[in-house]
Amino acid sequence: MTISVSPQALPALVLNADYRPLSYYPLSLWSWQDAIKAVFLDRVNIIAEYEHSVSSPSFTMRLPSVVSLKTYVQPSRHPAFTRFNVFLRDKFECQYCSSPDDLTFDHVIPRAHGGETTWCNVVAACSPCNLRKGSKLPKQAGMFPHQRPYQPTVQDLHNNGRLFPPNYLHESWMDYLYWDVELQP
């Protein structure tokens, strides 16, 4: 799975004040219009620019390709419990058969048996596996998730997000992405 980024849209990579992306998945991008607005509101520093310019009758400006916030935004310590974040934690794969298709989520301990809708009881599951398991307990269905469900950290989701890069990464962004990836010998 990839996030579709159109190079013709000339998006700006948004970095926190510490020069790290606000998020990796989806990659923290702003439209060129939002980036210019933030420049004029003095909320960002321009780090890199595209060759393309925009003009008004009295002003010409190259479009920012990388901006950094002037004020540090404290990242959330605990990611929101959302369908998307469950899928990201589980790497967009059914936790029963590893299929990436037709994903939904499954309560490992079904609600009919007192299971709750929490990080520690919900996994990504394809529709066929979800229907096959139904409201049975894992032992009754003979279906056990590949990994035990858990509450991920923001870092866990960032690490998983790096496995699904956008279809397009501008060359000016590369110096600010994946700094903590192990270097090749």
Spell out the alpha helix ranges (H) of the chain: 32-40, 83-89, 127-133, 138-141, 154-161
Q: pTM of the entire structure?
A: 0.71
Residues 101, 122: Cα–Cα separation, whole Å? 17
Give the count of beta carbons closer than 10 Å to the beta carbon of residue 44: 25
Peptide bond into 100 cis (omega under 30): no
CATH classification (class only), 83-140: mainly alpha
Q: Which residue has the tokens 């059914």?
A: 94
Structure tokens at 143: 């279906």
CA angle 111, 95, 118 (to 5 degrees): 35
* pLDDT at position 7 over 70: no
Overall average pLDDT of the 88-103 stretch: 96
pLDDT-wise least confident of 49-63, 74-88, 108-122, 169-183:
169-183
Domain extent listing, the chain: 7-75, 83-140
Residues 166, 90: Cα–Cα separation, whole Å? 18
* pLDDT at position 165 over 80: no
* Three-state SS sequence of 22-38: CCECCECEECHHHHHHH
Taking only the tens place, the pLDDT of each residue in 46-75 is 999 999 999 989 989 999 999 999 999 998
